Structure formats: C-alpha cells, structure tokens
Amino acid sequence: MSRLLSRRLFAAVTIAAVPLIASMQPSATAAAAQPSDPRTILDRVFSVAQAERGEQRFKQSCSSCHRADEFAGSAFSERWEAQTLGDLFAYISDSMPADDPGALKPEEYANVIAFFLGQNGYPVGTDDLPADAAVLKQIGIVANPK
C-alpha cells in the first residue's frame, strides 16, 4: 500500500469513526448494509421525543413567520438537498428567528431540525440528533424515497 493511500485511509477511518459508531447503535441492520457510505438523514438520526420538543419550539419561536409545511416535502428537500444538517443548523442558528437571530439554545435548534425530519417522514431512531456542528456536518440531506 502506498504511503499516500495509507495516510488517506487513516484519515478516512478517523473521520468516519464517530458517526459510524453512533449510527450503528439504533439501526445496526440498516447501517450494516453499506457501512462505508456517508451518513444521511435516512439513517435514523433523531428521536420521536426530540421531534416533539422541536415542534413545541417551532410553534413558540418560528410560527409567527413560517408555516410548518414550508419545511415539508419538496419545499424542504429542494431547498436543502445535497447540503448537510450542519448547513441547516448553521443557517437557522445564525439567521433565525429573523427578528432575533441566535435566540434559541443549540439543543433547541437541533430539536427544530428533528421536527422537520419527523414531519417529512424520515426514519426515526432512539438517540437525539446532537447539537454538535461537527457531527451534523457529516450527515447529508437527501430526498425521502418513500
């Protein structure tokens, strides 16, 4: 193995280790199908309880300007597809609510993202989506095939 290749492999393993381990817990069978694929929002990245907390927060902090269905179906996937949850997290953390940007706690922004995923029918897991930009950057936004 060339030195460059082994260095790349080492880097890939190091970067992949944390999200891979996390994704294998609630959905070992789904994740095991293609373990080397990057994680996406199909990989059971949020919990029902978190989505419910996010819905409450959305009603309190976002619904004066937005309807929930602005973040549903093709409106959601076309706006955010091919980006990552890190991009969405950064955007809403930096810019929303538009009249008071950054007013929510990081966990509350993550909860609102879980609410968006839940109302779009993405697969539910047992763990909350972490309010951790580095982890969220590793989770791709893809259309929901169902």
DSSP string, 18-67: HHHHHHHTTTHHHHHHSTTSPPBTTS--SBHHHHHHHHHHHHHHTTTT--
Of residues 4-43, those binding ligand HEC (CB under 6 A): none
CB of 82 to ligand HEC, least distance (A): 14
Residue among 31 and 92 whose Cβ is closer to ligand HEC: 92
CA dihedral 27, 93, 133, 49 (to 10 degrees): -20
Which of these ranges, 18-26, 42-50, 56-64, 123-131, lies near ligand HEC under the rule CB under 6 A? 56-64
CA distance 132 to 94: 14
Q: Does 143 bind ligand HEC (CB under 6 A)?
A: no
Residue among 45 and 112 whose Cβ is closer to ligand HEC: 112
Read off the amino acid at residue 36.
Answer: S
Which of these ranges, 8-16, 17-25, 41-49, 93-101, lies near ligand HEC under the rule CB under 6 A? 93-101
Torsion angles phi and psi, residue 47, rounded to 5: -110, 160
Q: What is the total count of residues that contact ligand HEC (CB under 6 A)?
A: 15
Residue among 27 and 111 whose Cβ is closer to ligand HEC: 111
Task: Give kind and range of the element (H or E) at residue 84.
Answer: none
Q: Would you tell me the crossing angle of helices 48-61 and 106-119 to the nearest 10 degrees?
A: 110
Q: Does 97 bind ligand HEC (CB under 6 A)?
A: yes
Residue among 24 and 77 whose Cβ is closer to ligand HEC: 77
Binding site for ligand HEC (CB under 6 A): 61-62, 64-66, 70, 79, 91-92, 96-99, 104, 112
